[in-house]
């Protein structure tokens, strides 16, 4: 499998691309930022919620139904950014919907093979790597899904098979994506700021805005697996202490079983996993500079929530 990190790419201001890009998941947390950061014309798939933008073409449908018209939706487009991830509120539902996603993904790949698409990007999560303790996790590290990814990896596997067979696809494995409306609100804006099981496990963090820009920067890159440049890489306790400092609160020690009782086992496994992502920037992502970047970003999140 081809693997690539951000260090392999040209950096700098994004250059406009030409043609139409078809985007799935455009109403979601990540997909909506990808559309906002667009440097090209967009055709967006609308399912349950409308996609907010004044300058896009909308098509309507559901990737998971027999009436999937993916071939029609991508007719005339240059590239595809697939950020949709069908979800469910419990573990049984996640496994069920992931099996449906696997079937739908097969249809998508077949349609792309029979089209003039020049670039396909799909967004996955880094939980696919599993709990890696102190390892620095590269783009070609072995996969051992944990938490949410135990289910979602079922629907994502056809993309990996497509890449392994020589398919022209870029797979972005994003770590914890921080931004307004993300997991951050659920875990760190409540009555406590949690330190989970002592907080010694690693967190790799990227801002949703940076992830969106990075996604556009690899439209014309070669096929492979990519890690976005990180905002910061640190122990969970350091992250919690920083949030507590900004909020003016003490942190609270909690166990993974406490989280499991409140949110479920998959959430507990996800939050407790240690994944130290290699973004190709060596130790810069653990530097004081990156610490300050995270601090500034967190401050802006809390200030924005007051307006």
Q: What is the pTM of this model?
A: 0.90
How far apart (Å, rounded) are the C-alpha atoms in residues 80 and 120?
5
How far is the CA of 211 from the CAs of 34, 101, 129, in angstroms?
8, 23, 19
Residues forming beta bridges with residue 174, ordered by sequence position = 125
- Within 13 Å, how many C-alpha atoms sit on residue 37's CB side? 19
- Strands annotated E in 114-267: 119-125, 136-137, 170-174, 176-178, 193-196, 202-207, 224-227, 232-235, 251-254
Condensed to tens digits (0 to 9), the pLDDT of residues 19-45 reads: 899 999 988 899 999 999 998 899 999
Place of tokens 């994004």: 14
The tokens describing 260, both together, are: 């499991």
Confidence at residue 131, expressed as pLDDT on a 0 to 100 scale: 96
With cut-offs at 50, 70 and 90, classify the pLDDT of residue 9: very low
Mean pLDDT of 157-173: 96
Q: What domains can you pick out in the chain, each with its CATH number?
A: 3-175+207-229 (3.40.50.720)
Confidence at residue 307, expressed as pLDDT on a 0 to 100 scale: 58
The DSSP element (H or E) to which 80 belongs, if any, is strand 79-82
Confidence at residue 306, expressed as pLDDT on a 0 to 100 scale: 67
Backbone conformation region of residue 175, classed left if phi is above 0, alpha if psi is from -120 to 50, else beta: beta
Confidence at residue 18, expressed as pLDDT on a 0 to 100 scale: 58
Question: Which of 92, 239, 115 shows the shortest CA–CA distance to 175?
Answer: 239
């Amino acid at each position: 499998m081809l693997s690539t990190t951000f260090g392999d790419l040209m950096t700098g201001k994004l250059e406009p691309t030409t043609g139409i890009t078809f985007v799935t998941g455009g109403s979601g947390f990540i997909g909506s930022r990808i559309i906002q950061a667009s440097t090209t014309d967009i055709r967006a798939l609308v399912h349950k919620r409308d996609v907010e933008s004044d300058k896009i073409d909308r098509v309507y449908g559901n990737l998971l139904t027999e009436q999937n018209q993916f071939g029609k939706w991508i007719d005339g487009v240059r590239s595809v950014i697939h950020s949709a991830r069908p979800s469910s509120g419990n573990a049984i539902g996640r496994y069920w919907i992931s099996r449906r996603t696997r079937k739908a993904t097969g249809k998508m790949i077949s349609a792309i093979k029979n089209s003039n698409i020049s670039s396909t990007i799909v967004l996955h999560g880094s939980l696919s790597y599993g709990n890696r303790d102190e390892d620095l996790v590269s783009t070609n590290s072995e996969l051992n899904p944990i938490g949410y990814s135990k289910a979602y990896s079922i629907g994502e596997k056809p993309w990996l098979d497509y890449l392994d067979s020589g398919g022209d696809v870029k797979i972005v494995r994003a770590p914890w994506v921080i931004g307004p409306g993300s997991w951050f609100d659920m875990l760190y804006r409540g009555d406590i700021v949690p330190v989970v099981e002592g907080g010694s496990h690693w967190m790799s963090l990227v801002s949703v805005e940076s992830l969106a820009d990075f996604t556009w920067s690899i439209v014309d890159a070669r096929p492979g697996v990519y890690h976005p440049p990180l905002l910061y890489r640190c122990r969970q306790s350091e992250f919690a202490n920083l949030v507590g400092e900004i909020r003016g609160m003490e942190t609270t020690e909690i166990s993974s079983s406490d989280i499991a009782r409140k949110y479920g086992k998959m959430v507990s496994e996800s939050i407790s996993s240690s994944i130290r992502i290699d973004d190709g920037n060596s130790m810069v992502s653990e530097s004081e500079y990156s610490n300050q970047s995270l601090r500034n970003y967190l401050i802006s999140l809390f200030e924005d929530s007051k307006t």
